[in-house]
Structure 1
Protein backbone atom coordinates (compact mmCIF):
# COMPACT_ATOMS: atom_id res chain seq x y z
CA UNK A 1 0.00 0.00 0.00
CA UNK A 2 2.83 2.36 0.89
CA UNK A 3 4.65 1.65 -2.36
CA UNK A 4 1.45 2.20 -4.36
CA UNK A 5 0.78 5.52 -2.58
CA UNK A 6 4.35 6.70 -3.18
CA UNK A 7 4.28 5.61 -6.82
CA UNK A 8 0.88 7.12 -7.70
CA UNK A 9 0.49 10.08 -5.35
CA UNK A 10 3.70 11.41 -3.86
CA UNK A 11 6.15 10.83 -6.69
CA UNK A 12 7.78 14.13 -7.76
CA UNK A 13 6.03 14.23 -11.13
CA UNK A 14 2.57 14.07 -9.54
CA UNK A 15 3.15 16.27 -6.52
CA UNK A 16 2.17 19.48 -8.39
CA UNK A 17 -1.06 17.83 -9.52
CA UNK A 18 -1.83 16.78 -5.94
CA UNK A 19 -1.15 20.30 -4.65
CA UNK A 20 -3.28 21.84 -7.41
CA UNK A 21 -6.19 19.51 -6.59
CA UNK A 22 -5.97 20.24 -2.86
CA UNK A 23 -5.83 24.00 -3.51
CA UNK A 24 -8.75 23.69 -5.92
CA UNK A 25 -11.00 21.81 -3.48
CA UNK A 26 -10.09 23.94 -0.44
CA UNK A 27 -10.63 27.17 -2.41
CA UNK A 28 -14.04 26.04 -3.59
CA UNK A 29 -15.14 25.03 -0.08
CA UNK A 30 -13.85 28.26 1.50
CA UNK A 31 -15.45 30.36 -1.24
CA UNK A 32 -18.81 28.63 -0.87
CA UNK A 33 -18.67 29.07 2.90
CA UNK A 34 -17.99 32.79 2.56
CA UNK A 35 -20.69 33.34 -0.07
CA UNK A 36 -23.23 31.48 2.06
CA UNK A 37 -22.34 33.67 5.04
CA UNK A 38 -22.74 36.79 2.87
CA UNK A 39 -26.08 35.51 1.65
CA UNK A 40 -27.23 34.91 5.24
CA UNK A 41 -25.95 38.31 6.40
CA UNK A 42 -23.52 36.77 8.89
CA UNK A 43 -19.86 37.39 9.58
CA UNK A 44 -17.58 40.22 8.51
CA UNK A 45 -17.68 39.39 4.82
CA UNK A 46 -19.36 41.34 2.05
CA UNK A 47 -19.48 41.71 -1.71
CA UNK A 48 -16.54 43.49 -3.32
CA UNK A 49 -17.55 46.70 -5.06
CA UNK A 50 -15.46 48.97 -7.28
CA UNK A 51 -17.07 52.07 -8.69
CA UNK A 52 -20.51 50.62 -8.11
CA UNK A 53 -19.61 47.42 -9.99
CA UNK A 54 -19.83 44.05 -8.23
CA UNK A 55 -16.48 42.32 -8.72
CA UNK A 56 -17.18 38.59 -8.95
CA UNK A 57 -14.50 36.24 -7.65
CA UNK A 58 -14.15 34.78 -11.14
CA UNK A 59 -12.10 37.90 -11.97
CA UNK A 60 -9.21 37.24 -9.53
CA UNK A 61 -9.66 33.57 -10.39
CA UNK A 62 -8.84 34.21 -14.04
CA UNK A 63 -5.80 36.26 -13.06
CA UNK A 64 -4.48 33.56 -10.72
CA UNK A 65 -5.15 30.81 -13.26
CA UNK A 66 -3.17 32.66 -15.93
CA UNK A 67 -0.29 33.37 -13.54
CA UNK A 68 -0.20 29.79 -12.24
CA UNK A 69 -0.46 28.29 -15.72
CA UNK A 70 2.37 30.31 -17.23
CA UNK A 71 4.51 29.82 -14.11
CA UNK A 72 3.97 26.06 -14.32
CA UNK A 73 4.98 26.01 -18.00
CA UNK A 74 8.10 28.03 -17.26
CA UNK A 75 9.06 26.20 -14.08
CA UNK A 76 8.85 22.55 -15.15
CA UNK A 77 7.52 19.75 -12.94
CA UNK A 78 9.99 19.81 -10.05
CA UNK A 79 11.13 22.15 -7.31
CA UNK A 80 9.48 24.81 -5.18
CA UNK A 81 8.52 26.94 -8.19
CA UNK A 82 6.50 24.12 -9.70
CA UNK A 83 4.70 23.45 -6.41
CA UNK A 84 3.95 27.14 -5.93
CA UNK A 85 2.62 27.50 -9.47
CA UNK A 86 0.38 24.45 -8.94
CA UNK A 87 -1.13 25.96 -5.79
CA UNK A 88 -1.74 29.31 -7.50
CA UNK A 89 -3.33 27.56 -10.47
CA UNK A 90 -5.53 25.43 -8.20
CA UNK A 91 -6.76 28.48 -6.29
CA UNK A 92 -7.54 30.32 -9.51
CA UNK A 93 -9.33 27.32 -11.02
CA UNK A 94 -11.43 26.95 -7.86
CA UNK A 95 -12.54 30.58 -8.06
CA UNK A 96 -13.29 30.36 -11.77
CA UNK A 97 -15.26 27.12 -11.75
CA UNK A 98 -17.24 28.21 -8.70
CA UNK A 99 -18.80 30.75 -11.06
CA UNK A 100 -18.86 28.53 -14.13
CA UNK A 101 -22.61 29.09 -14.47
CA UNK A 102 -22.07 32.85 -14.60
CA UNK A 103 -19.63 32.40 -17.50
CA UNK A 104 -21.98 29.96 -19.24
CA UNK A 105 -25.07 32.18 -19.00
CA UNK A 106 -23.29 35.56 -18.97
CA UNK A 107 -25.55 36.45 -16.06
CA UNK A 108 -25.38 36.39 -12.25
CA UNK A 109 -27.17 33.07 -11.70
CA UNK A 110 -25.11 32.09 -8.64
CA UNK A 111 -28.09 31.39 -6.35
CA UNK A 112 -30.53 30.20 -9.00
CA UNK A 113 -31.34 26.74 -10.33
CA UNK A 114 -28.97 27.42 -13.24
CA UNK A 115 -26.19 28.04 -10.72
CA UNK A 116 -26.19 24.36 -9.81
CA UNK A 117 -24.11 23.82 -12.93
CA UNK A 118 -21.10 25.34 -11.15
CA UNK A 119 -21.25 22.78 -8.34
CA UNK A 120 -21.63 19.94 -10.84
CA UNK A 121 -18.61 21.08 -12.86
CA UNK A 122 -16.47 21.43 -9.72
CA UNK A 123 -17.36 17.92 -8.53
CA UNK A 124 -16.67 16.45 -11.97
CA UNK A 125 -13.33 18.24 -12.21
CA UNK A 126 -12.20 17.09 -8.78
CA UNK A 127 -13.24 13.50 -9.53
CA UNK A 128 -11.43 13.40 -12.88
CA UNK A 129 -8.23 14.87 -11.44
CA UNK A 130 -8.48 12.42 -8.56
CA UNK A 131 -8.60 9.52 -11.03
CA UNK A 132 -5.47 10.86 -12.72
CA UNK A 133 -3.73 10.95 -9.35
CA UNK A 134 -4.74 7.36 -8.68
CA UNK A 135 -2.80 6.29 -11.75
CA UNK A 136 -5.42 6.26 -14.50
CA UNK A 137 -4.29 7.64 -17.84
CA UNK A 138 -6.59 9.04 -20.52
CA UNK A 139 -7.99 6.55 -23.06
CA UNK A 140 -6.69 3.49 -21.19
CA UNK A 141 -2.99 3.88 -21.96
CA UNK A 142 -2.29 2.95 -18.32
CA UNK A 143 -3.46 -0.60 -19.13
CA UNK A 144 -0.70 -1.21 -21.68
CA UNK A 145 2.56 -2.98 -20.93
CA UNK A 146 5.92 -1.32 -21.54
CA UNK A 147 6.33 -3.21 -24.82
CA UNK A 148 2.84 -2.19 -25.98
CA UNK A 149 3.48 1.44 -25.09
CA UNK A 150 6.65 1.36 -27.18
CA UNK A 151 4.63 -0.01 -30.08
CA UNK A 152 3.06 3.08 -31.60
CA UNK A 153 0.49 1.05 -33.48
CA UNK A 154 -0.90 -0.63 -30.36
CA UNK A 155 -0.96 2.60 -28.39
CA UNK A 156 -2.65 4.56 -31.16
CA UNK A 157 -5.23 1.80 -31.69
CA UNK A 158 -6.05 1.75 -27.98
CA UNK A 159 -6.42 5.51 -27.86
CA UNK A 160 -8.54 5.55 -31.02
CA UNK A 161 -10.95 2.83 -29.88
CA UNK A 162 -11.42 4.32 -26.42
CA UNK A 163 -11.87 7.79 -27.89
CA UNK A 164 -14.56 6.36 -30.18
CA UNK A 165 -16.39 4.86 -27.17
CA UNK A 166 -16.28 8.22 -25.37
CA UNK A 167 -17.47 10.03 -28.50
CA UNK A 168 -20.44 7.66 -28.93
CA UNK A 169 -21.38 8.07 -25.26
CA UNK A 170 -21.24 11.84 -25.73
CA UNK A 171 -23.44 11.61 -28.83
CA UNK A 172 -25.95 9.61 -26.81
CA UNK A 173 -26.30 12.51 -24.38
CA UNK A 174 -24.27 10.89 -21.59
CA UNK A 175 -21.89 13.76 -20.84
CA UNK A 176 -20.68 12.55 -17.45
CA UNK A 177 -20.18 9.01 -18.75
CA UNK A 178 -18.15 10.32 -21.69
CA UNK A 179 -15.95 12.45 -19.43
CA UNK A 180 -15.22 9.63 -17.00
CA UNK A 181 -14.84 7.29 -19.94
CA UNK A 182 -11.86 9.30 -21.15
CA UNK A 183 -10.06 8.23 -17.96
CA UNK A 184 -11.72 4.81 -17.42
CA UNK A 185 -12.43 3.24 -20.84
CA UNK A 186 -14.84 0.63 -19.41
CA UNK A 187 -17.18 3.45 -18.40
CA UNK A 188 -17.20 4.80 -21.96
CA UNK A 189 -17.87 1.31 -23.32
CA UNK A 190 -20.94 0.94 -21.07
CA UNK A 191 -22.19 4.39 -22.12
CA UNK A 192 -21.67 3.56 -25.79
CA UNK A 193 -23.66 0.31 -25.55
CA UNK A 194 -26.63 1.60 -23.57
CA UNK A 195 -29.63 3.40 -25.02
CA UNK A 196 -29.27 7.07 -25.88
CA UNK A 197 -31.06 9.75 -23.92
CA UNK A 198 -34.14 11.28 -25.60
CA UNK A 199 -33.28 14.42 -27.53
CA UNK A 200 -29.60 13.50 -27.91
CA UNK A 201 -27.99 13.67 -31.38
CA UNK A 202 -27.83 9.85 -31.49
CA UNK A 203 -31.54 9.52 -30.65
CA UNK A 204 -32.54 12.10 -33.24
CA UNK A 205 -30.48 10.36 -35.91
CA UNK A 206 -31.01 6.66 -35.23
CA UNK A 207 -34.29 6.47 -33.29
CA UNK A 208 -36.30 8.60 -35.68
CA UNK A 209 -37.88 5.58 -37.37
CA UNK A 210 -37.67 3.25 -34.38
CA UNK A 211 -40.65 4.03 -32.12
CA UNK A 212 -39.91 1.13 -29.77
CA UNK A 213 -36.35 2.35 -29.23
CA UNK A 214 -37.63 5.88 -28.61
CA UNK A 215 -40.15 4.59 -26.09
CA UNK A 216 -37.56 2.45 -24.27
CA UNK A 217 -35.09 5.34 -24.19
CA UNK A 218 -37.70 7.70 -22.79
CA UNK A 219 -38.81 5.21 -20.13
CA UNK A 220 -35.23 4.47 -19.06
CA UNK A 221 -34.38 8.17 -18.86
CA UNK A 222 -37.52 8.81 -16.81
CA UNK A 223 -36.70 6.09 -14.26
CA UNK A 224 -33.04 7.18 -14.10
CA UNK A 225 -33.90 10.83 -13.49
CA UNK A 226 -36.59 9.94 -10.96
CA UNK A 227 -34.13 7.78 -9.03
CA UNK A 228 -31.08 10.05 -9.07
CA UNK A 229 -32.32 13.62 -9.54
CA UNK A 230 -33.39 13.98 -5.90
CA UNK A 231 -30.18 12.67 -4.29
CA UNK A 232 -28.05 14.68 -6.74
CA UNK A 233 -30.00 17.84 -5.94
CA UNK A 234 -29.63 17.32 -2.17
CA UNK A 235 -25.90 16.65 -2.57
CA UNK A 236 -25.45 19.85 -4.58
CA UNK A 237 -27.46 21.83 -2.02
CA UNK A 238 -25.33 20.42 0.80
CA UNK A 239 -22.12 21.48 -0.94
CA UNK A 240 -23.08 24.74 -2.60
CA UNK A 241 -26.20 25.95 -0.80
CA UNK A 242 -29.88 25.83 -1.71
CA UNK A 243 -30.80 28.01 -4.71
CA UNK A 244 -33.40 30.71 -4.41
CA UNK A 245 -36.91 29.49 -5.17
CA UNK A 246 -38.08 30.20 -8.68
CA UNK A 247 -40.65 33.01 -8.49
CA UNK A 248 -44.13 32.08 -9.62
CA UNK A 249 -45.27 34.32 -12.47
CA UNK A 250 -48.38 36.37 -11.64
CA UNK A 251 -51.64 35.20 -13.17
CA UNK A 252 -52.77 37.05 -16.30
CA UNK A 253 -55.21 39.88 -15.64
CA UNK A 254 -58.85 38.98 -15.91
CA UNK A 255 -60.53 40.08 -19.10
CA UNK A 256 -63.33 42.53 -18.72
CA UNK A 257 -66.63 41.88 -20.40
CA UNK A 258 -67.03 44.62 -22.98
CA UNK A 259 -70.78 44.15 -22.82
Structure 2
Protein backbone atom coordinates (compact mmCIF):
# COMPACT_ATOMS: atom_id res chain seq x y z
CA UNK A 1 0.00 0.00 0.00
CA UNK A 2 1.68 3.15 -1.23
CA UNK A 3 2.59 5.77 1.35
CA UNK A 4 1.94 3.50 4.37
CA UNK A 5 4.59 1.57 6.26
CA UNK A 6 3.47 -2.06 6.24
CA UNK A 7 4.55 -2.37 9.89
CA UNK A 8 2.05 0.32 10.87
CA UNK A 9 -0.94 -1.47 9.37
CA UNK A 10 -1.96 -3.30 12.58
CA UNK A 11 -1.81 -0.01 14.49
CA UNK A 12 -3.88 1.79 11.84
CA UNK A 13 -6.42 -1.02 11.80
CA UNK A 14 -6.70 -0.90 15.58
CA UNK A 15 -7.06 2.88 15.54
CA UNK A 16 -9.89 2.68 13.02
CA UNK A 17 -11.59 -0.01 15.07
CA UNK A 18 -11.60 2.29 18.11
CA UNK A 19 -12.96 5.16 16.03
CA UNK A 20 -15.61 2.78 14.70
CA UNK A 21 -16.72 1.80 18.21
CA UNK A 22 -16.76 5.42 19.30
CA UNK A 23 -18.72 6.55 16.24
CA UNK A 24 -21.26 3.73 16.54
CA UNK A 25 -21.86 4.49 20.23
CA UNK A 26 -22.15 8.19 19.42
CA UNK A 27 -24.77 7.63 16.71
CA UNK A 28 -26.84 5.10 18.67
CA UNK A 29 -26.83 7.28 21.79
CA UNK A 30 -27.82 10.40 19.88
CA UNK A 31 -30.73 8.67 18.13
CA UNK A 32 -31.90 7.07 21.39
CA UNK A 33 -31.60 10.38 23.25
CA UNK A 34 -33.65 12.25 20.65
CA UNK A 35 -36.32 9.52 20.70
CA UNK A 36 -36.53 9.63 24.51
CA UNK A 37 -36.67 13.44 24.72
CA UNK A 38 -39.45 13.51 22.14
CA UNK A 39 -41.35 10.88 24.12
CA UNK A 40 -40.95 12.94 27.31
CA UNK A 41 -42.11 16.08 25.53
CA UNK A 42 -45.26 14.44 24.19
CA UNK A 43 -45.97 12.49 27.39
CA UNK A 44 -45.57 9.08 25.78
CA UNK A 45 -43.85 6.10 27.39
CA UNK A 46 -42.39 5.60 30.85
CA UNK A 47 -39.67 8.24 30.52
CA UNK A 48 -39.64 11.34 32.73
CA UNK A 49 -37.33 14.26 33.39
CA UNK A 50 -34.57 13.49 35.89
CA UNK A 51 -34.56 15.56 39.08
CA UNK A 52 -32.21 15.47 42.06
CA UNK A 53 -33.27 17.48 45.07
CA UNK A 54 -35.71 19.44 42.94
CA UNK A 55 -33.03 20.32 40.37
CA UNK A 56 -33.57 19.24 36.75
CA UNK A 57 -30.51 17.19 35.74
CA UNK A 58 -29.82 17.59 32.01
CA UNK A 59 -28.43 14.58 30.18
CA UNK A 60 -25.28 16.48 29.32
CA UNK A 61 -24.28 16.04 32.98
CA UNK A 62 -24.11 12.27 32.53
CA UNK A 63 -22.23 12.81 29.29
CA UNK A 64 -19.61 15.03 30.92
CA UNK A 65 -18.95 12.44 33.62
CA UNK A 66 -18.66 9.68 31.02
CA UNK A 67 -16.18 11.69 28.97
CA UNK A 68 -14.11 12.56 32.04
CA UNK A 69 -14.12 8.98 33.29
CA UNK A 70 -13.29 7.39 29.94
CA UNK A 71 -10.59 9.95 29.15
CA UNK A 72 -8.97 9.61 32.57
CA UNK A 73 -8.95 5.81 32.36
CA UNK A 74 -7.45 5.89 28.85
CA UNK A 75 -4.65 8.31 29.71
CA UNK A 76 -3.90 6.61 33.04
CA UNK A 77 -3.99 2.91 32.14
CA UNK A 78 -3.69 2.75 28.32
CA UNK A 79 -5.64 -0.55 28.29
CA UNK A 80 -5.51 -3.08 25.48
CA UNK A 81 -8.55 -4.64 23.80
CA UNK A 82 -11.26 -5.29 24.81
CA UNK A 83 -11.08 -2.61 27.53
CA UNK A 84 -9.96 0.04 25.08
CA UNK A 85 -13.08 -0.76 23.03
CA UNK A 86 -15.21 -0.31 26.15
CA UNK A 87 -13.63 3.08 26.79
CA UNK A 88 -14.23 4.10 23.17
CA UNK A 89 -17.92 3.20 23.54
CA UNK A 90 -18.20 5.10 26.84
CA UNK A 91 -16.48 8.14 25.35
CA UNK A 92 -18.73 8.11 22.27
CA UNK A 93 -21.81 7.75 24.48
CA UNK A 94 -20.71 10.65 26.69
CA UNK A 95 -19.87 12.83 23.70
CA UNK A 96 -23.34 12.28 22.21
CA UNK A 97 -25.11 13.12 25.47
CA UNK A 98 -23.01 16.25 25.86
CA UNK A 99 -23.17 17.55 22.28
CA UNK A 100 -26.92 16.91 22.15
CA UNK A 101 -27.20 19.86 24.54
CA UNK A 102 -24.59 22.01 22.81
CA UNK A 103 -27.12 24.86 22.60
CA UNK A 104 -27.31 24.88 26.40
CA UNK A 105 -23.56 25.53 26.61
CA UNK A 106 -23.86 28.24 23.97
CA UNK A 107 -26.87 30.14 25.29
CA UNK A 108 -26.65 29.20 28.98
CA UNK A 109 -30.38 28.48 29.00
CA UNK A 110 -32.64 25.60 28.06
CA UNK A 111 -33.48 26.19 24.39
CA UNK A 112 -33.63 22.51 23.44
CA UNK A 113 -36.87 22.74 21.45
CA UNK A 114 -36.52 26.33 20.33
CA UNK A 115 -34.90 27.61 17.13
CA UNK A 116 -31.61 28.23 18.98
CA UNK A 117 -31.61 24.60 20.09
CA UNK A 118 -31.10 23.47 16.51
CA UNK A 119 -27.41 24.31 16.95
CA UNK A 120 -27.16 21.15 19.08
CA UNK A 121 -28.19 19.01 16.11
CA UNK A 122 -25.78 20.95 13.90
CA UNK A 123 -22.97 20.14 16.35
CA UNK A 124 -23.87 16.45 16.49
CA UNK A 125 -24.11 16.09 12.71
CA UNK A 126 -20.76 17.87 12.24
CA UNK A 127 -19.22 15.51 14.82
CA UNK A 128 -20.61 12.52 12.90
CA UNK A 129 -19.08 13.81 9.67
CA UNK A 130 -15.70 14.28 11.36
CA UNK A 131 -15.93 10.80 12.89
CA UNK A 132 -16.75 9.27 9.51
CA UNK A 133 -13.76 11.03 7.92
CA UNK A 134 -11.49 9.73 10.67
CA UNK A 135 -12.92 6.26 10.21
CA UNK A 136 -11.97 6.17 6.54
CA UNK A 137 -8.46 7.35 7.42
CA UNK A 138 -8.52 11.02 6.44
CA UNK A 139 -5.75 12.79 8.37
CA UNK A 140 -5.58 16.61 8.27
CA UNK A 141 -2.13 16.55 9.87
CA UNK A 142 -0.52 13.90 7.67
CA UNK A 143 3.26 13.98 7.36
CA UNK A 144 3.62 12.21 4.02
CA UNK A 145 3.90 15.30 1.83
CA UNK A 146 6.69 15.16 -0.73
CA UNK A 147 7.98 18.61 0.24
CA UNK A 148 8.92 17.53 3.74
CA UNK A 149 7.92 18.80 7.18
CA UNK A 150 8.04 22.51 6.31
CA UNK A 151 5.78 22.14 3.27
CA UNK A 152 3.39 19.99 5.30
CA UNK A 153 3.27 22.55 8.12
CA UNK A 154 2.60 25.40 5.67
CA UNK A 155 -0.15 23.38 3.98
CA UNK A 156 -1.81 22.45 7.27
CA UNK A 157 -1.71 26.00 8.63
CA UNK A 158 -3.01 27.43 5.36
CA UNK A 159 -5.85 24.95 5.25
CA UNK A 160 -6.79 25.72 8.87
CA UNK A 161 -6.92 29.41 7.98
CA UNK A 162 -9.28 28.68 5.08
CA UNK A 163 -11.43 26.52 7.37
CA UNK A 164 -11.57 29.29 9.99
CA UNK A 165 -12.60 31.84 7.35
CA UNK A 166 -15.36 29.48 6.18
CA UNK A 167 -16.66 29.15 9.74
CA UNK A 168 -16.56 32.93 10.25
CA UNK A 169 -18.53 33.30 7.00
CA UNK A 170 -21.35 31.27 8.51
CA UNK A 171 -20.47 27.94 6.92
CA UNK A 172 -19.47 25.82 9.95
CA UNK A 173 -20.16 22.44 8.34
CA UNK A 174 -18.01 23.16 5.28
CA UNK A 175 -15.37 24.71 7.52
CA UNK A 176 -15.08 21.63 9.73
CA UNK A 177 -15.13 19.23 6.78
CA UNK A 178 -12.55 21.48 5.14
CA UNK A 179 -10.10 20.77 7.94
CA UNK A 180 -9.94 17.23 6.57
CA UNK A 181 -10.55 18.00 2.89
CA UNK A 182 -8.46 21.04 1.87
CA UNK A 183 -10.32 21.82 -1.36
CA UNK A 184 -13.60 22.12 0.55
CA UNK A 185 -12.09 24.68 2.94
CA UNK A 186 -10.72 26.75 0.06
CA UNK A 187 -14.02 26.82 -1.84
CA UNK A 188 -16.02 27.63 1.31
CA UNK A 189 -13.62 30.46 2.24
CA UNK A 190 -14.00 32.07 -1.20
CA UNK A 191 -17.80 31.96 -1.27
CA UNK A 192 -20.11 34.75 -0.16
CA UNK A 193 -20.64 35.01 3.59
CA UNK A 194 -24.04 34.73 5.20
CA UNK A 195 -25.32 38.21 6.23
CA UNK A 196 -25.64 37.19 9.88
CA UNK A 197 -22.09 35.83 10.08
CA UNK A 198 -19.25 37.60 11.95
CA UNK A 199 -17.33 37.98 8.67
CA UNK A 200 -20.19 39.82 6.94
CA UNK A 201 -21.01 42.04 9.91
CA UNK A 202 -17.41 43.20 10.31
CA UNK A 203 -16.07 43.24 6.77
CA UNK A 204 -18.91 43.79 4.29
CA UNK A 205 -19.92 47.23 3.04
CA UNK A 206 -23.53 48.01 2.16
CA UNK A 207 -23.19 46.73 -1.41
CA UNK A 208 -21.78 43.35 -0.43
CA UNK A 209 -24.17 43.03 2.50
CA UNK A 210 -27.09 43.65 0.14
CA UNK A 211 -25.73 40.96 -2.16
CA UNK A 212 -25.43 38.56 0.79
CA UNK A 213 -29.03 39.26 1.82
CA UNK A 214 -30.23 38.51 -1.71
CA UNK A 215 -28.24 35.28 -1.70
CA UNK A 216 -29.47 34.27 1.78
CA UNK A 217 -32.96 35.80 2.21
CA UNK A 218 -34.69 35.59 5.58
CA UNK A 219 -36.51 32.29 5.99
CA UNK A 220 -34.43 30.55 3.33
CA UNK A 221 -34.13 26.84 4.04
CA UNK A 222 -31.48 24.47 2.74
CA UNK A 223 -31.10 20.71 2.45
CA UNK A 224 -29.08 20.85 5.67
CA UNK A 225 -32.04 22.51 7.44
CA UNK A 226 -34.31 19.72 6.27
CA UNK A 227 -31.84 17.16 7.61
CA UNK A 228 -31.77 18.94 10.99
CA UNK A 229 -35.59 18.94 10.97
CA UNK A 230 -35.55 15.14 11.19
CA UNK A 231 -34.06 15.41 14.67
CA UNK A 232 -34.98 18.86 15.97
CA UNK A 233 -38.33 19.32 14.24
CA UNK A 234 -39.23 22.11 11.82
CA UNK A 235 -39.34 25.40 13.77
CA UNK A 236 -42.71 26.49 12.38
CA UNK A 237 -44.25 23.07 13.07
CA UNK A 238 -43.21 22.82 16.71
CA UNK A 239 -45.75 23.49 19.40
CA UNK A 240 -45.27 25.57 22.54
CA UNK A 241 -41.89 25.22 24.14
CA UNK A 242 -41.70 22.63 26.83
CA UNK A 243 -38.81 21.54 29.01
CA UNK A 244 -37.24 18.39 27.57
CA UNK A 245 -35.70 15.34 29.11
Q: Tell me the TM-score range normalised by the shorter chain.
A: 0.7 to 0.9
User: Greater Rg, structure 1 or structure 2?
Assistant: 1
Cα distance in structure 2, aligned partners of 1:204 and 1:38: 39
Call closer, same or farther: CA 1:66–1:164 in 2, change over 3 Å.
Answer: same
Gaps of 5+ in 1: 1-6, 248-259
CA apart distance, 1:161 = 1.8
Matches of 1:85 and 1:34, distance apart in 2: 24
Greater RCO (Cα-Cα under 8 Å, separation 6 or more) = 2
- Across the aligned residues of Structure 1 and Structure 2, the Cα RMSD in angstroms comes to 2.7
Match of 2:81 in 1: 79
Instruction: Return the match for 1:214 from 209, 215, 221.
Output: 209
| CA positional deviation for 1:156 | 0.9
Find the counterpart in structure 2 of residue 3 from structure 1: none
Q: TM-score, normalised on structure 2? A: 0.82
Q: Which of 67-76 and 53-62 deviates more?
A: 67-76
Match of 2:184 in 1: 187
SS at match of 1:79: coil
Q: CA deviation at 1:206?
A: 4.1
Moved over 6 A (4+): none
User: Displacement of 1:235 after TM fit?
Assistant: 2.6
Mapped to 2, the partners of 1:202 and 1:233 lie a distance apart of: 21
| Aligned ranges 1:1-259 → 2 under 5 Å | 11-76=13-78, 78-138=80-140, 141=142, 144-145=144-145, 147-148=146-147, 151-208=148-205, 211-222=206-217, 226-228=220-222, 231-241=223-233, 244-245=238-239
TM-score when normalising by structure 1: 0.78
What corresponds to 1:250 in structure 2? none
**Change over 3 Å in CA distance of 1:78–1:238 after alignment to 2:** same
Assess, with a 3 A threshold, how the Cα gap between structure 1 residues 162 and 176 changes in structure 2: closer, same or farther. Answer: same
C-alpha deviation, 1:103, in angstroms: 2.1
Structure 2 stretches of 5 or more lacking a match? 1-8
Q: Partners of 2:171 and 2:62 in 1: how far apart?
A: 33
> Is the CA contact (8 Å cut-off) linking 1:100 and 1:121 kept in structure 2?
yes
Q: Which residue of 2 aligns with 1:256?
A: none
